[in-house]
């Protein structure tokens, strides 16, 4: 049974509040309406488009906590961050990221997303990649969204930390990497500023 506009908009508002990073395309499929209908509903409800929601969350929550590099130097957009624990970023693959002849993403963009996320998750003013063991598991095409998830694995010694990063398109893994990160701070825990 099709929902009324009022019911759909109320449920749309709840869904976006619960999961602010849902795309209009995903919402349109969920509600079985056109993307344009979702956009109009969002406009009537004063809900900004996805990019603006991401920027708002990133600016409000993580701009002050990323220490190793400015947030605008992270490749992709950070949507979740807990220093020295975990982080998530998204990267929408556009024409700028792909080979012109086949529209497949250039590997260095996926690597850069993962590597910059590994740097950003380190709770230190200086974090540098000393070694990376990476694997590309499938090609990524223009128009796909890559979600990279970083997890701080363990500290090798007083100034080395391992960060695992796995990148996905939907539920399919497209990239994996283990990054050994140098950190200038000798203590991993308890160095809040």
Confidence at residue 104, expressed as pLDDT on a 0 to 100 scale: 96
User: Region 6-18: what's the mean pLDDT?
Assistant: 89
Confidence at residue 175, expressed as pLDDT on a 0 to 100 scale: 97
Confidence at residue 153, expressed as pLDDT on a 0 to 100 scale: 84
Please measure the distance between the N-terminal and C-terminal CA atoms of the chain and give it in whole angstroms: 55
DSSP 4: P
Confidence at residue 103, expressed as pLDDT on a 0 to 100 scale: 96
CB 56 within 8 A of CB 48: yes
pLDDT one-digit tens code per residue, 115-172: 999 998 888 888 889 999 999 999 999 999 999 999 998 665 668 889 999 999 999 9
pLDDT one-digit tens code per residue, 76-105: 888 888 888 888 999 999 999 999 999 999
What residues are paired with 180 via a beta bridge? Answer: 131, 162
In the chain the domains, ranked by start, together with CATH numbers, are 5-47 (1.10.10.10), 67-183 (3.10.129.10)
CB 87 within 8 A of CB 62: no
Judged by phi (left if over 0) then psi (alpha if -120 to 50, else beta), residue 54 lies in alpha
Confidence at residue 99, expressed as pLDDT on a 0 to 100 scale: 95
CB 114 within 8 A of CB 165: yes
- Strand runs labelled E in 61-115: 77-82, 86-92
Q: How far apart are CA 54 and CA 158, in angstroms?
A: 34
**DSSP string for 22-71:** --HHHHHHHHTS-HHHHHHHHHHTTPPPHHHHHHHHHHHHTTTT--SS-G
pLDDT one-digit tens code per residue, 19-62: 777 788 889 999 999 999 999 999 999 888 876 766 665 555 54
Confidence at residue 155, expressed as pLDDT on a 0 to 100 scale: 67
Q: How far is CA 33 from CA 4, 37, 70, in A?
A: 12, 6, 39
């Amino acid at each position: 049974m099709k929902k009324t506009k009022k019911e759909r908009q109320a449920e749309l508002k709840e869904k976006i509040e619960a999961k602010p990073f849902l795309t209009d395309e995903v919402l349109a499929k969920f509600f079985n309406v056109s993307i344009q209908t979702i956009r109009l509903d969002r406009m009537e409800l004063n809900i900004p488009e996805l990019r603006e929601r991401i920027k708002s969350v990133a600016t409000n929550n993580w701009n002050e906590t990323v220490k190793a590099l400015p947030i605008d130097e992270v490749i992709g957009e950070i949507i979740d961050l807990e220093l020295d624990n975990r982080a998530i970023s998204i990267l929408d693959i556009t024409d700028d990221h792909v080979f012109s002849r086949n529209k497949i993403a250039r590997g260095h963009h996926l690597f850069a997303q993962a590597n910059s996320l590994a740097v950003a998750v380190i709770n230190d003013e200086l974090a540098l990649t000393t070694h990376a063991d990476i694997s590309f598991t499938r090609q990524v095409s223009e128009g796909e969204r890559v979600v990279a998830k970083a997890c701080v694995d363990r500290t090798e010694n007083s100034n080395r930390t391992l960060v695992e990063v796995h990148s996905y398109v939907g539920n399919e893994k497209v990239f994996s990497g283990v990054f050994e990160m140098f950190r200038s701070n000798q203590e991993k825990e308890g160095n809040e500023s």
